[in-house]
Amino acid sequence: MKRILSGMQPTSQLHLGNYLGALKNWVNFQEDKEAERLYCVVDLHAITQPYEPETLAKATREIAAAYMAAGIDPKKSTIFVQSHVPQHSQLMWLLSTMAQMGKLERMTQFKDKAGKNAERAGLGLFAYPVLMAADILIYKATHVPVGEDQKQHLELARDLASTFNTRYGVDLFPQPEPVIAGPAPRVMSLRDGSKKMSKSDESDMSRINLIDDADTIAKKIKKAKTDPEALPDNLKALDGRPEALNLITLYAALADQSKESVLTQFAGKQFSEFKPAFIDLAVTRLSPITARMNELLSDPAQIDASLREGGEKARDIAAPVLQETMKIMGFMP
């Protein structure tokens, strides 16, 4: 059986990168009759970097609302909060005894987030990929739809699954497959085409948030970095033009078109002509999501009830897997 699992951190509002790199792909699985779907808000991951305790619960609810507004139906998929299922952290500890420090040190997300202060970074940030492996393995998930930046973490989860199976001579955990198939698996910052669009970028102008209104979207696209050249008629000619490539990729993903056909449409045009069309498209595609999110957030009790129900379903799957894991490891029943 196919079991799909993915999650996002309530570190801030979701942006176009989260949506086109992962969330839109989750929606594509919605009608897959062969699959069971679990989508969590990974709040335990969100505290691995400095955060405001007073905003964590609100941010968690907002991410859940974004999932639902983007098209994840809680009747068809289990939507829940990571910290409501204690088995994630319990399995993480068990797996951490098998995770090699050397492999964790090679994780680029840790290097990027810890920066020059690696010595002072918290253990949680370092161990983040082990918790992510536990998030996946506690459900014996088979498919994990994520953006390209999570590929390395997925490799570690696969590695830990096989290390566990080999060490204990069992076939407990399946190898989770990364599904990096969103229409734009790596969306770049609007201010710098060499940096990924990120919630934690200090400049809000670097990203389009799902909650942004039409005027804000227009302002951000107008200010998006470009170059002085006109748009070419082929993709190869965008080599070395990362900002231009990013905008074309975003347009294509939002329009459900290929990048080639977008270039055919805009070949020879300047960004001054491309940007207004891009603004219209982005507003048309995102405004129904924003409106639905605002509508859902006007009734937080309803979101909380859905999340509680989702948490119960998730615990029903996770509890026996943890029990089985501990039995294999020889713990006293």
Q: How far apart are CA 226 and CA 151, in angstroms?
A: 28
Question: 175 CB contacts (<8 Å, ≥6 apart)?
Answer: 158, 161, 162
| CB nearer ligand AQP, residue 186 or residue 191 | 186
Stretch that binds ligand AQP, among 69-77, 158-166, 179-187, 291-299 (CB under 6 A): 179-187
SS3 38: strand
Angstrom distances, CA of residue 314 to CA of 28, 43, 84, 87, 308: 21, 15, 9, 10, 10
Among residues 129, 178, 185, 193, the one that binds ligand AQP under rule CB under 6 A = 185
187 binds ligand AQP (CB under 6 A): yes
Burial of 68 (0-12, 13-18, 19+ CB in 10 A): buried
Cβ 200 to ligand AQP, closest distance in Å?
A: 3
Pairing label, strands 2-8, 35-41: parallel
Q: Candidates 166-174, 197-205, 281-289, 323-331 — which segment interacts with ligand AQP by CB under 6 A?
A: 197-205
C-beta of 50 vs 330, nearer to ligand AQP: 50
Tell me the C-alpha distance between 236 and 213, whole Å: 34
- Choosing from 13, 83, 142, 198, the residue that interacts with ligand AQP (CB under 6 A) is 198
Q: Does 11 bind ligand AQP (CB under 6 A)?
A: yes
Which residue among 83, 87, 150, 290 contacts ligand AQP (CB under 6 A)? Answer: 150
CA 303, chain centre distance (Å) = 20
Residue labelled with tokens 């008629």: 233
* Contact pick of 4, 5, 22, 250 for ligand AQP (by CB under 6 A): 22
Please identify, among the stretches 14-22, 92-100, 244-252, 274-282, the one whose residues bind ligand AQP according to the rule CB under 6 A: 14-22
Q: Applying CB under 6 A, does 289 fall inside the site for ligand AQP?
A: no
Encoded amino acid at 87, one letter: Q
Which residues are at the interface with ligand AQP (CB under 6 A)? 8-9, 11, 17-18, 21-22, 146-147, 149-150, 185-187, 196-200
